[in-house]
Structure 1
Amino acid sequence: MNYNYRRMFFLAMTCLLCLAGHAGASTRATSGESSDRGAARLIVYRIPTMGKFVIVHVYVDDVVVGTIAYGGTYEGLLKPGHHVLSVLATPRPKWPERPPTIVDVRSGRTYRFTAMGNGRGNLILRPAD
Structure 2
Amino acid sequence: MNHWTDSLESDGEEEDSLVRPYTITRGRTAPQRDDLTLITVVTTVEPEEGRPAGRRLEPEHRAIVEQCREPAAVAEIAAELDLPVSVTKILIGDLVALGRVTTRPPLADGGSGGLNVETLQAVRDGLQRL
Fold in common (TM above 0.5): no
Higher strand share: 1
Which structure has more relative contact order (CA 8 Å, sep 6+)? It is 2
TM-score (norm 1): 0.27
Higher helix share: 2
